[in-house]
Structure 1
């Protein structure tokens, strides 16, 4: 893969997509992979990650930094991961505050994003048969099974943090599975937040090493699946997204919570409620009308991004065809 000819404006768009991915990855139940799918960079992201192997070091020595950088699509990766890291440090805080202040509206917005991306993926599907139907049902059942599992509590040993980073980053790559939700599920989310808060470098290095290994290994496997078994893989991914609609259901009641290093309440387990029973169970207004409005805003955002992407693609490819 060689780096496409892009302008500064193009890389700013990629940075913006990275910001959205980072914000999504902070929220348990929402996947950065979903955002990558929605914004049309999923295949390029996986293809670029696939090339980041130890063999690149040999190529760097043999052919130099310029060709190696072009080979791994370095500008794209820097812009994307730069956006993700900036978001984790800044914009994600806004998302968390919004989740605390307006949880129903935020979850409704996420539900709209997911619903629109399901529509987008179904249009990409080349056909439906028995294996595709099985893949769809498997994807739905897998996400529901994860969402119903009771959270565990694992010790914060280095090798456990490595495995946690490996699994969490794999979940981030997959649309519909949230890396932070996986960390919550195995009890490592508070450990990770505590490590960030106290700058426990050794723990963060273990976690980061797991993330890097997960990105390199799993991205290659998933890209192979998409190329070799496109329809079946896509049907499973659609199932993941359909199942995640249960996770992003706006009206929730917390069953089990904990407190993070900043004194903020983190929900470990919750149940979905009928919006018409929400007031009676929680004592809070369901704001159904506003929730529907924000869900439609989520749908409109996805469709708008898709239309903008097509418009930008037409503008950038038109001169080349002359």
Structure 2
């Protein structure tokens, strides 16, 4: 295992993608899976995670750690999740501050990002049929139904944190459904965020153990679906992404009985128009800044997708020597 060359060539870029995924996962409404997909590493991530299991242990015993590391694409996973952790621990406070201070502009940026992210997913669908369109609609309906749920409250214990981590990671790996949003729905998001800020190791270990377990199990299922039912799976994921736009619409009014601080941090509010928002709140709707932020986000996504496709096409055109 050549760890000295780990961050040579492609791996700094993988770390950067991981940091972008971590930043997205902190936000209750944006999925790190979306970032993985538009940056071209989604399939590799699923396939690499799906290889971690009993067969990997067999390879380790028979062929040693180097072969086992290569089998699970360990350098890629290490670089990616290093980026995720760096982002979570360094940007959690910053993103919380931005959402509290500039909520409309931040949500508009994510709205443009998610909307444009549907383009590469839809383009990747190899063939269209009635069943593919049906799965697209089912995915959209699923995201809308999730957005209609209202927050509950569960106690923060080692067991609930383990289960919450497993549930959240399944959402995080799906483009469109945010793991942070799911945590918010079950009422444990503030507790997890506090554990990160205050470095409460017991809670963090329990949550991380649940997340790791859920990630390994759910990634195997998704990888299998992507290889055997790619058109329907991509259509479902695209539907989830489009349906999630309801969650991150920038202009919202507080729900009855909800706390103002939670409202500014989370997309658990009723959607409204910019004009109605200004009329009812007396605050600036920041329409120009929001539209500009959404356009910049969409351009960034489409640019990354275009560069990624050119890179993949260039590699496919290189003939073996």
What is the TM-score normalised by the length of structure 2? 0.91
Q: Hey, what's the Cα distance between the residues in 2 that align with 1:273 and 1:135?
A: 28
Matches within 5 A, 1:289-300: 289-300=288-299
2:230 aligns with: 230
- What is the deviation of 1:201? 2.7
1:191 aligns with: 191
Cα gap change, 1:226 to 1:310, in 2 (>3 Å): closer
- What is the deviation of 1:199? 3.6
Matches within 5 A, 1:112-127: 112-127=112-127
Matches within 5 A, 1:254-293: 254-255=254-255, 256-257=258-259, 266-267=265-266, 269-293=268-292
- What is the deviation of 1:67? 0.7
1:173 aligns with: 173
Q: Secondary structure at the match of 2:254?
A: strand
Does 1:86 find its partner at 2:86? yes
- What is the deviation of 1:131? 1.4
1:42 aligns with: 42
Cα gap change, 1:276 to 1:146, in 2 (>3 Å): same
- What is the deviation of 1:266? 4.2
8 Å Cα contact 1:180/1:189 also seen in 2: yes
Q: Hey, what's the Cα distance between the residues in 1 that align with 2:54 and 2:260?
A: 40
2:302 aligns with: 303
- What is the deviation of 1:7? 7.4
Q: Hey, what's the Cα distance between the residues in 1 that align with 2:150 and 2:271?
A: 15
Where structure 1 has 5 or more consecutive residues not aligned to the other structure, the ranges are: none
- What is the deviation of 1:130? 2.1
Which range moved further: 9-18 or 174-183?
9-18
1:97 aligns with: 97
8 Å Cα contact 2:29/2:266 also seen in 1: no
Cα gap change, 1:140 to 1:313, in 2 (>3 Å): closer
Q: Hey, what's the Cα distance between the residues in 1 that align with 2:273 and 2:266?
A: 19
Which range moved further: 171-180 or 84-93?
84-93
Cα gap change, 1:316 to 1:126, in 2 (>3 Å): closer
Matches within 5 A, 1:4-19: 8-19=8-19
Does 1:162 find its partner at 2:162? yes
8 Å Cα contact 1:257/1:268 also seen in 2: no
Cα gap change, 1:121 to 1:183, in 2 (>3 Å): same
8 Å Cα contact 2:151/2:187 also seen in 1: yes
Matches within 5 A, 1:46-85: 46-85=46-85
Q: Hey, what's the Cα distance between the residues in 1 that align with 2:264 and 2:298?
A: 29
Q: Hey, what's the Cα distance between the residues in 1 that align with 2:32 and 2:221?
A: 18
Which range moved further: 79-88 or 192-201?
192-201
What is the TM-score normalised by the length of structure 1? 0.91
8 Å Cα contact 1:258/1:267 also seen in 2: no
Q: CA offsets per residue over residues 75-133 of structure 1, 9 Å max, x none?
A: 10011001100000113433332222221111111111111111111111123222122
Where structure 2 has 5 or more consecutive residues not aligned to the other structure, the ranges are: none
Q: CA offsets per residue over residues 220-248 of structure 1, 9 Å max, x none?
A: 00111111211111111111011111111
Cα gap change, 1:6 to 1:304, in 2 (>3 Å): farther
Cα gap change, 1:182 to 1:299, in 2 (>3 Å): same
Cα gap change, 1:197 to 1:302, in 2 (>3 Å): closer
Q: Hey, what's the Cα distance between the residues in 1 that align with 2:207 and 2:158?
A: 8
Q: Secondary structure at the match of 2:145?
A: helix
